[in-house]
Chain A
């Protein structure tokens, strides 16, 4: 308490510069996480993500309630036909269904709003004169967005697992290569897949953060990021643009399925991680350069 006395008692006008402590600087990261996850918008996005596997699970259950098999194999997300055999496959189905759009869209919203939203609300200037430090603030923002990537993916995975276990039988998991593994190992592989999916979103997170430093309007940055995501997805679907496909951050997204092979097929998984790291480095640096030099006029 004596600490409190010296800090709050007597407003000494000639107090020497207080030292910054390394541990204290971490407070901003905690605060950033709290602010991100306490927004209604964040919770609403997570709720939408949680609803997807539940709805898919229920739909599959109703469809196959009469003992028939699902669809006819054509269309629908990957692994859908295996769900009735093993509830764990709902995790893979849900991730495959949300990864192309739902999941990255929520990341685009959070990343796009990260800096631009604070600028628009005027809170950015107060954080900077606190002084948060531009680099530290940007790092805290990026960390919070990455935490959201993980939380969003985990939300889909956990709700899928719960729904799958509730509605369908569980047990030995038959991998894509035909071998069977125990349910425990299946769970481990599901967790690894969830982490892989979260890491797949890192490139988009960095891109969104960069866009966020360009404008003072959170909505504009969110829209731009999500718009860019859609554009990239469309480009990725045009076969004539084969040449550029390996450079699109969405290109290796569905490679997470390779974790369900025995042995694991690492090639595309590693390419994906490398590509995400490249995007993070390029757009992270761009965001840093832009944010560091920018005049804060709002």
Chain B
């Protein structure tokens, strides 16, 4: 199989943007100076509260919206200029599924596939059936789409993104409206696709979702990129909190304070705080035991992405930009 030269030119980045900016006609700045780099083969979590510019960015990447300034490259080619060449290799779910209610699920897929000039009509039916199977909709394929539940619509939208072999999947809030079981299924599907070597660019406002499935992440806040990197780096960046469970919380707090633990909080039988950077945690445990504090559990609670987010933006996650 001949390797396209474009793949080498992009130096491993499936999506890269330089100073990408979108100002809407009303003067509202939706995205400002975005420098994004999505490595090939990653599951990239694009994180940010509603209204932080995620969807505008995704629409610019897919050629639906013209950037006011800056440049975006997808699969090594500039967007929106190379849309016809790039987009057949990209599957997308943008701001929820959109379907023709009077067509069946299967007919919806055939319709979207017919819109792709690189899709072979001879294999269309077979590919549609395979995509339906992949998202678990084979049984409902002949039902009219208007009778679908939100979860089924979401799956059909995913099936449309999987009609062709793709190099990149752009999934905007793919688990929106799904029940916990549906969410688990979609997440395992995303992992499966990533294992096949497809780069997945996944936007979400759910932090634990990003933590569960993503290898890399970028955080948007009020139209700007706050940070990007691997999920592991990100969580490591924020230090964890020491948590001790004990029937003697008062004594434990005193000992820990003496040992240099800051920001101590006592909640019932649990005492938590920020451990001093220089000391080994084992020494803290020994100090507690020496003082006669009975320790039930002792450990470092890993920082969640939410802690990272709060420390980066100084705001809770539900605040829209």
Contacts and interface: CB of A to CB of B under 8 A. Distances in A.
A7 B110 CA distance: 15
Nearest to A10: B165
Interface in B88-143: 88-90, 92, 94-96, 98-100, 102-103, 110-124, 126-127, 130
Interface residues of A, number: 45
Nearest to A25: B117
A18 B117 CA distance: 9
B115 A131 contact: yes
A241 interface: no
A130 B87 contact: yes
Contact of A296 (B65, B116, B166): B65
A35 interface: yes
Interface string A1-29: 00110011011111111111100110110
Contact of A130 (B116, B122, B126, B167): B116
B25 to A, nearest CB: 9
A20 B119 CA distance: 8
Q: Which of A16, A18, A137 has the most CB of B within 10 A?
A: A18
Given A24-B119, A128-B63, A16 B114 contact: no
Nearest to B14: A13
B88 A24 contact: no
A227 interface: no
Interface residues on B, range: 35 or more
Contacts, number: 156
A103 B90 CA distance: 42
Nearest to A29: B114
Given A121-B98, A123-B100, A133-B84, A296 B64 contact: yes
A133 B102 contact: no
B112 A13 contact: no
Interface string B265-301: 0000000000000000000000000000000000000
B2 interface: yes
Contacts of B89: 15, 17-18
Contact of A31 (B88, B98, B110): B110
A295 B122 contact: no
Contacts of A28: 114-115, 117
B7 A123 contact: no
A295 B64 contact: yes
A3 B122 contact: yes
A133 B117 contact: yes
Contact of B114 (A14, A31, A125, A295): A31
Nearest to B93: A126
A30 interface: yes
Contacts of B102: 38-40
Choose among B59, B85, B116 the residue with the greatest number of A CB atoms under 10 Å from its CB. Answer: B116
A46 B59 CA distance: 38
A31 B111 contact: yes
A186 to B, nearest CB: 40
Contacts of B7: 14
11 contacts: A11-B166, A14-B4, A18-B89, A24-B119, A27-B117, A129-B87, A130-B115, A131-B87, A131-B115, A131-B116, A133-B117
Interface of A: 3-4, 7-8, 10-21, 24-25, 27-28, 30-31, 34-35, 38-40, 121-123, 125-133, 136-137, 293, 295-297
Given A20-B117, A132-B116, A296-B65, 16 more contacts: A8-B165, A11-B166, A11-B196, A12-B197, A16-B4, A17-B88, A20-B88, A21-B117, A122-B95, A125-B98, A129-B63, A129-B64, A129-B90, A130-B88, A295-B65, A296-B59
